[in-house]
Amino acid sequence: MKLFEWIFVLVTIAGALGLPFYSKRRKLAIVGLTALIIAFLLHAVIDSLRVMLLPSYIVALVLCILFIVQLVKWSLRGEGDVPAPYNKKSRVRTWLRGLFILLLAAFSGIGSGLLTWYFPTFTIPEPTGQFAIGTFSQRIVDESREETLSPEAGDKRELMINVWYPVDPEVAEGIKPESYPAELGEAISLVFGIPPQVFSYLDTIPTHVVKGAAMSNASSSYPVVLFSPGVRSARFQSMTAVEELVSHGYIVVGMDHPYTSAQVTFPDGHKVSYDAGPEFTASEELYQYNVQGVGIRAADARFVLDTLEQWNVNDPNQVLEGRLDLNHTGIMGHSYGGATTAEALAQDERFQAGLSLEGGFWGSVSKSSLKQPFMYIMSGKTAKSLGPNPTEHEKLFYPEFEPDLQHVMKNSLNDTYYLTVDGFFHQSFTDIALISPRLFAKDMPAEHNIDITRSYALAFFDRYLKGEAQPLLQGSSAKFPEVTYDNEYTKVRSKQAE
């Protein structure tokens, strides 16, 4: 909890425990009411309200009503500080009052304490690179493709992207950092079924990203990495990985894919929400539906790359012109975004390297041979789903997954890396461990969870987009004992990685 959250909760507890004394002293009641109001206002203005403190808000409201009723009674009776004598005859009433007081205090302290323990305010881990991080967002429209799911006939495919780029630290120093994106609340709600109001506090948490800063001139241009989120998620789902890459001299472009992303909000205010699509009884029907869906997303990635090529010549935002090293372009994604990554590699050789964070293989990638370096990272929980005699299946599991995976990894013409992270589940590749360590990072510290994904992503792209040797890619690491390489699917085929 933040400082003024603690103060507010403690004031509500003290206010509840002091109830027996307020009926005897008017000044004490006035002090209690004043302290409660001041504590609430300080918390609301400085920390901002959040759902996790709802028990304390309820107790504060009850106390305010009791204070006001008592003060009104005194005013109507015209009495001093000492009201009518306490009725000692009713022991039941005394016990009930005591129980009510204890319940109020416990509800505020334990209720708010538990909720904030499960959903704490958190600090995003510092990126380890030399650069600060700038950003801008942009709506782009692919006039060559119609939006198949739009209610309006003839609508063109439109996307929202964010571009994050390196900035000199001294330039970013005086600029207020952007808040953690509120869009993630809707995404987490869709994935886990938790009310989105629980995550309304996310936009009070600062990132390391600033708007309006000039790109660093430390390099004439920077390699580019596209990021595709999972289904029902958002382009902001892995801000820690984005910040890490940018801090080490990458331009990262996050893409939202309307109708498969959680909710895409456009500059004119209109929103496109996630469309779950039809239900299928046969695995083959669902498989073909996903082939189509991932194909749309891969086309999105190609269109974003087309747009970046144009912006490298003439950028309407006057940030990227001449600064994009498009000869060194990678793509990464989680889940459905990982499937998008693999298919984009198969369809477009402009992508020089790809990283899939537990994605599927829907589309031409399962029938062709990848020519680019490819890394696949799987969670330990999903790996158990694919083992002999599994007792449960992760949602990623589908009958065609294993043969598709085997085809992609064994028929690749370039380097492949296949890693498993023990203690991870499917959503561990996002920032969810920070949002609720008690629920989503039970087997390791949240910061270590985050460090695994961002470290291996950086190592992979540093190797294949910058040509720098990476010990982390050469085998097991003492820093990350949870990570193991699969010897069958991990093959270094090119001289570049030797």
Residue 477 maps to which CATH number?
3.40.50.1820
Q: Assess whether pLDDT exceeds 70 at residue 66.
A: yes
Q: Is residue 41 domain-shared with residue 148, that is, in the same domain?
A: no
The token duo for 340 is: 């998008």
The reply to whether 23 falls in a domain is yes
Q: Is residue 179 domain-shared with residue 250, that is, in the same domain?
A: yes
d(CA 433, CA 125): 12
Question: Which phi and psi angles does 203 have, rounded to 5°?
Answer: -75, 10
Question: Which phi and psi angles does 345 have, rounded to 5°?
Answer: -60, -40
Q: Is residue 191 domain-shared with residue 78, that is, in the same domain?
A: no
Q: Is residue 210 domain-shared with residue 82, that is, in the same domain?
A: no
Task: State the pTM of this model.
Answer: 0.87
The reply to whether 403 falls in a domain is yes
d(CA 311, CA 405): 35
Residue 12, C-beta contacts closer than 8 angstroms, at least 6 positions apart? 36, 39, 56, 59, 60, 63, 105, 108
The reply to whether 123 falls in a domain is no
pLDDT, mean of residues 3-30: 83
Q: Assess whether pLDDT exceeds 90 at residue 187.
A: no
The reply to whether 27 falls in a domain is yes
How many domains are there within the chain? Answer: 2
Q: Assess whether pLDDT exceeds 50 at residue 497.
A: no
pLDDT band at 388 (very low <50, low <70, confident <90, very high): low
The reply to whether 124 falls in a domain is no
d(CA 382, CA 392): 9
d(CA 361, CA 407): 10
Nearest to 188 by CA among 453, 443, 449, 431: 431
Q: Is residue 305 domain-shared with residue 355, that is, in the same domain?
A: yes
Q: Is residue 156 domain-shared with residue 41, that is, in the same domain?
A: no
Q: Which of 248-262, 333-347, 372-386, 409-423 has the lowest mean pLDDT?
A: 372-386
The radius of gyration of the chain's CA atoms, rounded to the nearest angstrom, is 28
CA distances from 376 to 46, 246, 409, 437, 479 (A): 43, 21, 9, 25, 20
Q: Is residue 138 domain-shared with residue 106, that is, in the same domain?
A: no
pLDDT band at 114 (very low <50, low <70, confident <90, very high): confident
Range of the domain at 100: 3-118
Q: What is the pLDDT of residue 84?
A: 47
Q: Assess whether pLDDT exceeds 70 at residue 131.
A: yes
pLDDT, mean of residues 45-51: 84
pLDDT, mean of residues 8-12: 91
Mean pLDDT for all residues in the chain: 90
Using the structure block, give the residue that is written with the tokens 């001093």.
Answer: 80
Q: Assess whether pLDDT exceeds 90 at residue 75.
A: no
The reply to whether 107 falls in a domain is yes
Q: Assess whether pLDDT exceeds 50 at residue 201.
A: yes
The reply to whether 26 falls in a domain is yes
Q: Is residue 168 domain-shared with residue 195, that is, in the same domain?
A: yes
d(CA 361, CA 418): 14
Cα dihedral 420→426→427→433 (10° resolution): -50
The reply to whether 126 falls in a domain is no
Q: Is residue 461 domain-shared with residue 319, that is, in the same domain?
A: yes
Q: pLDDT tens digits, residue range 264-322?
A: 999 999 999 999 889 888 888 999 999 999 999 999 999 999 999 999 999 999 999 99
Q: Is residue 362 domain-shared with residue 298, that is, in the same domain?
A: yes
Q: Assess whether pLDDT exceeds 50 at residue 331.
A: yes
Q: Is residue 13 domain-shared with residue 148, that is, in the same domain?
A: no
Of 55, 85, 118, the domain-final residue: 118
Of 90, 118, 146, the domain-final residue: 118
Of 92, 118, 144, the domain-final residue: 118
Q: Is residue 114 domain-shared with residue 136, that is, in the same domain?
A: no
Q: Assess whether pLDDT exceeds 50 at residue 121.
A: yes
